[in-house]
Amino acid sequence: MSAKIIDGKVLAEEVKQMAALAVQTLQQQHGITPCLAVLLVGDDPASQVYVRGKENDCAACGIASRVYRLPAQTTQAELLARLADLAADDTVHGILVQLPLPRHIAPDAVINAIPPEKDVDGFTPVSAGRLLRGEPCFVPCTPAGCLRMIEAAGVCAEGKHAVVVGRSNIVGKPAALLLLRHNATVTVCHSRTPDLAAVCRTADILIAAVGKAGLITGDMVKPGAVVIDVGINRGADGKLHGDVDFESVSAVASYITPVPGGVGLMTRAMLMLNTVQAAAAKTGCDLGFSVKNPVRF
Ligand code: GUN
């Protein structure tokens, strides 16, 4: 079998077009331009690239962006003070603090300072609790993007066995919860899972989100499985590599996402959708997606 590629570039453009249309509606009917505030502390090169990407996406969708590039020595108290200002600012609809933060700043303290109604990353305990309980919420952008890609492949998760490799709060756990909402039977694997390969081989849908280049190889994949690669690992060759060994897995899977050009672009696009939702929620305007139902956009 030679897997079909689920093209993140095409799908992300579709999602951003949806966001751009929603921005027009909000502007024309409510006089509101959605605004995303992004805080970047320090000079991590990868984070700088990600934040620039977010700025570009905002511009492409007609979303206003305010990017605060703060020095690495910024104290936690200073960051919290900045967040308090943004939390109180009615013209700011979404707030995102780029992770990772410098070691002297506790990420949980910072995330907890984001009001749930502006939590477009879906990282706060309130958002996580709502997702767990199946309530409307901001869904973390990467898992939301993964589900979107599975749907775009025409695959219905209901009744399928989905295996998520990785248990982070940002990707693995919320991806598992979303798959559960879609009525998949879900297994979450992690570094202490014995015989990872055997578990992966039982997956109809396999999501790899561990940050280890090439971890998932063709012999670990069930023929015909849908494989979603969340990994973005910079190799010694300077190139980006996924958690999935593309060559061997694409010979076995039915669908596969590439790296680059896969989930990463969807993550950015979903952030745009969450931001317009945050703005729309203030108006009571129903955009017809995700505010009411966070799974089917
Ligand atoms: N760093 C890497 N991915 C993300 C993300 O999705 N959100 C934030 N805030 N930081 C990140």
pTM of the full predicted structure?
Answer: 0.95
The dihedrals phi and psi of 283, each to the nearest 5 degrees, come to: -100, -15
> Which residue's C-alpha comes closest to atom 8 of ligand 1?
98
What pLDDT, on the 0 to 100 scale, is given for residue 284?
78
**99 Cβ below 6 A of ligand 1:** yes
What pLDDT, on the 0 to 100 scale, is given for residue 125?
98
What pLDDT, on the 0 to 100 scale, is given for residue 285?
75
277 catalytic residue (yes or no): no
Cβ neighbours of residue 137 under 8 Å, at least 6 residues apart?
A: 122, 127, 130, 131, 294
Which one is catalytic: 16, 57, 98, 118? 98
> For a substitution probing ligand 1, which of 98, 112, 240 has the most ligand atoms within 8 Å of its CB?
98
For residue 185, CA distances in Å to 162, 163, 177, 193 come to 6, 8, 10, 18
What pLDDT, on the 0 to 100 scale, is given for residue 287?
72
Using CA atoms, how far apart are residues 202 and 163, in angstroms rounded to an integer? 8
Domains of the chain: 30-117 (3.40.50.10860), 141-263 (3.40.50.720)
222 catalytic residue (yes or no): no
Which one is catalytic: 119, 121, 243, 245? 121
For the chain, percent helix, then strand, then coil, each to nearest 5? 40, 15, 40
**144 Cβ below 6 A of ligand 1:** no
239 catalytic residue (yes or no): no
Using CA atoms, how far apart are residues 108 and 51, in angstroms rounded to an integer? 20
What pLDDT, on the 0 to 100 scale, is given for residue 283?
86
Residues of the chain with pLDDT under 70: 1, 286, 288-297
What pLDDT, on the 0 to 100 scale, is given for residue 1?
67
What pLDDT, on the 0 to 100 scale, is given for residue 297?
36
Structure tokens at 174: 């919320």
